[in-house]
Amino acid sequence: MTQSIPFSLRLYEAAAAALSSLAPAWLRYRVRLGKEDPRRWPERLGQASLARPPGRLVWLHGVSVGESLSLLPLVARLREERPDVAILVTSGTVASAELLEARLGGRALHQYAPLDTPGAVARFLDAWKPELGVFVESELWPNLILDARRRGVRLALISARLSDASAASWRRAPRAAQALLGAFDLILARDEAAARRFASLGGRVAGLTDLKFGSPALPFDPVALTVAREAVDGRSVLLAASTHEGEDALILDAYRDAYRNDNALLIIAPRHPVRGEAIEALARDRGLSVARRSTGGRLGETAVYVADTVGELGLWYRLADLAVIGGSLLPDVAGGHNPLEPARLGCPFISGPHVRDWPVYGALEAAAATRLATADHLRGWFSRAIAGPSTLAHMARRAEAFAAAGDAAAGQTADHILGLLAL
């Protein structure tokens, strides 16, 4: 296969090798920024921190929180039907590692994905020797993919997505695109548009699957939910979920205008909990009483509660009368976040208009299961939820039914993966 690698990919490999000596210093710098795990950053150099179990091993990879969590149903199915096969899950962010540690429950091992340098990739593959590698969404790392293929690892790209911009970039290097996509034994695109883009680059798309469907409902602590409901004491609960910088001020302004006489509680759960202190200051600047979960603040005694913790969205969605999903109110912030999480829990939700990374919003809105609203309309939605949460119940039921139907169909993805494992 070495002879068939196009010049552009050989050049990429050589450049990555030349820069690899700088990788340790770069990773230590990222540790200081809080973007790498201070204990486990050598894993990014391909140095395994756990022992490989004996026997066959399947390797699943999702870069960040959403992609990684979408693998959990596949982990459960593999563990149920092939208990003889060990499972390794890799991801690339600290937040994803923390959530996977809590959610895998010993069913699989976790490591950070190696940097895409020849040395790091070789060390990773030497240590783990996977039989099958499954990549989620858009992780096309040339050295990792081609070296795995050279070693005989069967490869799958599932829930695969490719933007117009990325497809245009790959069309400028068509032989490189064909070499990478041709390394996969199975490609399942996330939607018809992605399937057409992959096919235009030479990928053999076997079907469609969206791994955002098929995930279990977000977990929660029943005791914490009981305590929270008692603390809320009948007030309307508005949730701003997975917010990003710039969005919190818009949400707080709308809430301040809708809030009257202690009749509601706004919970802000930022995408990055480190912003909790800054959000607290924004609330105080608007004359709103505020408490933070990370500092032990009490839920029932303020107008605003900053839930600056990780892994508790399942609790807040179950408590809320209306959720606003962040990453969507401003352009070029995040492209939206997962609407299926509140849908599965029967929580009414809306989002901002900037949801390019989540085409499923179009189908949800067509089914009258949600609405895309600009920041100017937030006050109206908040007032509606405070005046009578039951008015949003029909929207929530439609969203729940939509998610249930998609989750049922997503189970077929595991059949494809099990089929590759049986070869």
Q: Which residue has the tokens 């050295």?
A: 143
Q: Which amino acid is at 243?
A: T
Instruction: Give buried/exposed letters for 76-90 (b at 16+ CB in 10 A, else e).
Output: bbbbeebeebbbbbb
Give yes or no for residue 260 having a pLDDT over 80.
no
CB 49 within 8 A of CB 40: yes
**pLDDT score of 40:** 97
**CA separation, residue 298 to residues 260, 290, 367 (Å):** 20, 9, 38
> Is the confidence at residue 31, as pLDDT, over 70?
yes
* Confidence at 1, pLDDT banded by 50, 70, 90: very low
| Interatomic CA distance for residues 357 and 340, integer angstroms | 13
Say whether 80 is catalytic.
Answer: no
Given 13, 67, 247, 312, the catalytic residue: 67
Beta bridge partners of 325: 241, 351
| Residue 412: band (very low, low, confident or very high) from pLDDT cuts 50, 70, 90 | confident
Q: What is the pLDDT of residues 300-343, one digit of tens each?
A: 889 999 999 988 999 999 999 999 999 999 998 888 999 999 99
**Per-residue pLDDT at 6 exceeds 60:** yes
**Count of H helices and E strands in the chain?**
19, 13
User: E strand or H helix at 119, and its extent?
Assistant: helix 118-128
Please determine, for residue 64, whether its predicted confidence score (pLDDT) is greater than 70. yes
User: In the chain, where are the structural domains located?
Assistant: 2-211, 222-407
The one-letter code for the residue type at 382 is F
Report which DSSP code applies to 40: T
Provide the residue type at 65 as one letter: V
Residue 372 DSSP code? B
Residue 88: which H helix or E strand, with range?
Answer: strand 86-91
CATH of the domain spanning 222-407: 3.40.50.2000
CB pairs under 8 A, 24+ apart, for 254-261?
A: 254/375, 254/378, 254/379, 254/382, 255/288, 255/303, 255/304, 255/378, 255/379, 255/382, 256/286, 256/287, 256/288, 257/379, 258/379, 258/382, 258/383, 258/386, 259/288, 259/303, 259/382, 259/386, 260/386
Q: Which residues contact 306 (CB under 8 A, 6 or more apart)?
A: 267, 268, 270, 276, 279, 280, 283, 290, 291, 292, 293, 294, 297
List pLDDT tens digits, range 205-225: 998 888 878 778 999 999 999
| Helices of type H across 211-275 | 222-232, 247-258
pLDDT per position as a tens digit, 135-163? 998 778 999 999 999 999 999 999 898 88
- The CATH topology of domain 2-211 is Rossmann fold (3.40.50)
pLDDT category of residue 389 using cuts at 50, 70 and 90: low
Mean pLDDT of the chain: 92
Secondary-structure breakdown of the chain: helix, strand, coil percentages, each rounded to the nearest 5: 50, 15, 35
pLDDT mean over 171-194: 92
Per-range mean pLDDT, top range of 170-174, 260-264, 321-325, 390-394: 321-325
The residue behind tokens 């870069």 is: 63
Q: How far apart are CA 370 and CA 364, in angstroms?
A: 6
Cβ–Cβ < 8 Å for 242, 313: yes
pLDDT at 57 over 90: yes
